[in-house]
A and B are shown apart, each in its own frame.
Chain A
């Protein structure tokens, strides 16, 4: 519970954050920035977990614990994705999304 700030304000903020992430994921051409967009999406949802926990069930901790899980998960996912991207770069000397379209049909 944060004085002077209603839950709607923060939900609006996280929604904006989430859709910025979605927009970035759809439109970025560099794999690294696509990955960053994914991070934004994850962070928006992590904030939402904490928020809803704090405002609706202040005496419980599950939401906060879940957000820590999400952070750990995001770290692991980033490590894996970076590894893939580095290997991809070694293979085709590019980290552009348009250069990874060969696996079709």
Chain B
């Protein structure tokens, strides 16, 4: 079987980026939107074909094979070299489909949403650059290639968040996102260097094979503070994933990143880039699972569980609809992380892994839909805040219905995609870690509540006096909504356990009826509470939040994480460390150099009088010198 044509999937967006980026002034907006959509449409079709081809014929004796096409790029030693290439295996194929489908939908949608914007072509070139980087990331054959694309993804995310570069808040948000993720990526880089130094390879296949240095040899490796060096390496690599996936404590950039255009939030900060961390852990899953008895995997599980709970709590209190969705994203990614964290390796035991990938897939669909729906609402009322919205169901029927479908899906309402994937996650958590299970059930309830708080506030509630009567978005924006709404239902019926598993062997997964019943009833309770609070304008919710007082304020301010970071950076880093370092630099380092210069100048000032410019003085010194030399020579000669 030959999958070498998959290289085209990332190369088409790259070509688009070059064309649109280089000739952004010359290509009229009417062409660039279509060109971008067409290119991504081709990539999407190719990915679908790849998926079909791979999942139908990719098995050998019941095990999915991995196909690798690569080219050696940089050679350090015979064993340690950096390759560039494409890797075709179940998760990369699945991610190709996710990335290209959401990207294609976002391209179509942006034609309507960005209509009339000055940087229309520039916007599409950035989108293409992002799609290229993300596809390169998911198809990477080795850690280093992944790292390269990881950074490219970060850079294109920076460009897109800061797309409205005349707005100071957008510029600040872009910088914040870049710096926070960059800081986390430092851990990633150190992790890569550690692992590759001790195992002598970057290759994913070598790193995850049972006989490889990493898994077979961790017992013999050096240890540091009671843990194997490999565990430290994996935890540091996971730190990069924490940054990109906006897990605690590196989540602070994600809410601010909502300053970018809404289609960007849908593409990058909901469906694709933020799941890169999940993908990274899934990619190295055998290593996480086997090294040191899965200590690193425990870290993944708890970080995911805590992040999902904290983010769900914060989401309840926010008023900016995009920020609510941002925290919801963080919470759902926490779900995926904890599912990976509680997973085991073989067969049905590897349910968590499958559930995580399944949820990644369904989440990409319904969260992209939620963002695009929110974008449609923002497009209509020109505000991000819930207080400016209400009763929009009368004006925007398609947005209303699709948004409702997405909200039901994320709330885990039976029959929708989110219900199936969430159920698998809860089953996996229930079987392996009760504590995490209880917290995720709680999160399921909270998710349903804040999602329907959002839904009722936008589409029901008070009828506002709108300056311009809101109207339904154009067809270019509603078609992607309808497609994604379809996927938010149909996505759940894909038999994922047949396709994506930890040990590459398909297994049968069944709906666990009791657990599913518990989870969905918790979700429905959340929906009902939201219905009582927000269906009609009422003071009930205000009374309720007042009852919580301090705790409410604490959560409303996002647990003061931003303030904590500001304190650490401004007061401690800038105030003490940087201040004393700059004092040392100015006074000791610069001081010694400036001192040398000053001494030279002052000495020169003292002796420059010797250069009098008087010819006869020079002649005098010349003759005098000769006389002295002659006397010395005579003296020596005489003796």
Q: Point out residues on A near B: beta carbons under 8 Å.
A: 22, 25-27, 34, 97-98, 100-105
Q: When chains A and B are docked, how far (Å) is the Cα of A98 from the Cα of B614?
A: 7
Residue B619 contacts which of A25, A100, A104, A105 (CB distance < 8 angstroms)? A25
Q: A22-B623, A25-B619, A26-B619 are in contact. Are A97 and B611 (CB under 8 A)?
A: no
From B608, B614, B619, A101 is in contact (CB under 8 Å) with B614
The 11 listed contacts between A and B (C-beta, < 8 Å) are: A22-B623, A26-B619, A34-B616, A97-B615, A97-B616, A100-B615, A101-B612, A101-B613, A101-B614, A104-B612, A105-B611
A72 to chain B, nearest CB (A): 24
A100: chain B residues within 8 A (beta carbon): 613, 615
Q: Tell whether B620 is near chain A: CB-to-CB under 8 Å.
A: yes
User: Bound complex: CA of A98 vs CA of B616, how far in Å?
Assistant: 10
Question: Which B residues lie within 8 Å of A34 (CB)?
Answer: 615-616
In chain B between 598 and 629, which residues have their CB closer than 8 angstroms to a CB of chain A? 608, 611-616, 619-620, 623
Contact A97 B614 (CB under 8 A): yes
A104, B613: Cβ atoms closer than 8 Å: yes
Q: Is the interface of A mostly helix, strand, loop or mixed?
A: helix
Per the bound structure, the CA–CA distance linking A22 and B623 in Å amounts to 9
Number of A-B pairs, beta carbon distance below 8 Å: 26
Q: In whole angstroms, how far apart are the Cα atoms of A97 and B612 in the complex?
A: 12
**Min CB distance, A22 to chain B, in Å?**
7
Report the minimum CB–CB distance from A70 to chain B (whole Å): 19
Residue of B nearest to A104 (CB): B613
B155-211 interface with A by 8 A CB criterion: none
Cβ–Cβ < 8 Å partners of B616 in chain A: 25-27, 34, 97
The distance in angstroms between the C-alpha atoms of A103 and B611, with both chains bound, is 9
- Return the CB mask of B239-256 against A: 1 if under 8 Å, else 0: 000000000000000000
For the A-B complex with A27-B616, A105-B608 known, give 6 more contacts whose Cβ atoms are closer than 8 Å. Answer: A22-B623, A26-B620, A34-B616, A101-B613, A103-B613, A105-B611
> What A residues does B611 contact at CB under 8 A?
104-105
Query: How distant is the Cα of A34 from the Cα of B618 in the complex, in angstroms?
Result: 14
Smallest Cβ distance from A15 to chain B, in angstroms? 14
Task: List the A side residues contacting B614 at CB < 8 Å.
Answer: 97-98, 101
Q: Which of B611, B616, B619 lies at the interface centre, i.e. has the most chain A CB atoms within 10 A of its CB?
A: B616
Question: Separation in Å of the A78 CB from the closest CB of chain B?
Answer: 17
Which chain B residues border A97 with CB–CB below 8 Å?
A: 614-616
Most buried by A among B611, B613, B620: B613
CB A84 to nearest CB in B, in angstroms, measures 12
What distance in Å separates the Cβ of A41 from its nearest Cβ neighbour in chain B?
11
A102 x B613 contact (CB < 8 A):
yes
What separation, in Å, do the CA atoms of A45 and B300 have in the docked complex? 100
Q: State how many angstroms separate the Cβ of A67 from the closest Cβ of chain B.
A: 22
In the assembly, what is the distance between CA of A98 and CA of B615, in Å?
Answer: 9
User: In whole Å, how far is B609's beta carbon from the nearest beta carbon of chain A?
Assistant: 9
Alpha-carbon distance A102/B620, docked complex (angstroms): 19
Question: What 6 pairs across the A-B complex have the smallest Cβ distances?
Answer: A104-B613, A101-B613, A104-B611, A26-B616, A101-B614, A105-B608
A28 to chain B, nearest CB (A): 8
Distance of B626 from chain A, by nearest CB (Å): 11
Tell me, rounded to whole Å, the shortest Cβ–Cβ distance linking B411 to chain A: 86
Distance in Å from the Cβ of B349 to the closest Cβ of chain A?
A: 88
Contact with A along B575-618 (1 / 0, CB 8 A): 00000000000000000000000000000000010011111100
B23 → A minimal CB distance (Å):
58
Q: Measured between alpha carbons, how far is A13 from B76 in the docked complex, in Å?
A: 85
CB closest residue in chain B, given A26:
B616
Name the A residues within 8 Å of B623 (CB-CB).
Answer: 22
Chain A residues with Cβ under 8 A from B613's Cβ? 100-105
Inter-chain CA distance A26–B616, complex, in Å, is 5
Closest Cβ–Cβ distance, residue A99 to chain B (whole Å):
11
Q: B195 → chain A, closest Cβ, in Å? A: 64
Whole-angstrom distance between the Cβ of A90 and the nearest chain B Cβ: 19
Contacts of B612 in A (CB 8 A): 101, 104
Distance, CA A22 to CA B616, complexed state (A): 10
Kindly list chain B residues whose C-beta atoms are within 8 Å of the C-beta of A98.
614
- Complex CA distance for A43 and B623, rounded to whole angstroms: 18
B602 nearest CB across to chain A (Å): 15
**Residues of chain B contacted by A22 (CB below 8 angstroms):** 623
Q: When chains A and B are docked, how far (Å) is the Cα of A22 from the Cα of B627?
A: 13
Report A42 CB to chain B, min CB distance, Å. Answer: 15
Q: What's the minimum C-beta distance from A30 to chain B, rounded to whole angstroms?
A: 12
CA A98 to CA B623, docked complex, whole Å: 20
A26 to B622, CA, bound (A): 11
Nearest to A28 among chain B residues (CB) is B616
What distance in Å separates the Cβ of B603 from its nearest Cβ neighbour in chain A? 14
Chain B proximity of A46: nearest CB distance (Å): 19
Q: Whose C-beta in chain B lies nearest to the C-beta of A100?
A: B615
B164 nearest CB across to chain A (Å): 58
Please measure, in the bound complex, the distance between the C-alpha atom of A6 and the C-alpha atom of B612, giving whole angstroms: 44
What is the CB-to-nearest-CB distance from B191 to chain A, in angstroms, rounded to a whole number?
62
Give chain B nearest CB distance to A53 CB in angstroms: 23
Residues from chain B with a CB closer than 8 A to the CB of A102 are 613
CB contacts (< 8 Å) of A103 on chain B: these are: 613
Give, as a whole number of angstroms, the nearest-CB distance from B398 to chain A. 85
Report the bound CA distance from A101 to B612 in whole Å: 7
Chain A residues closer than 8 Å to B608, beta-carbon distance: 105
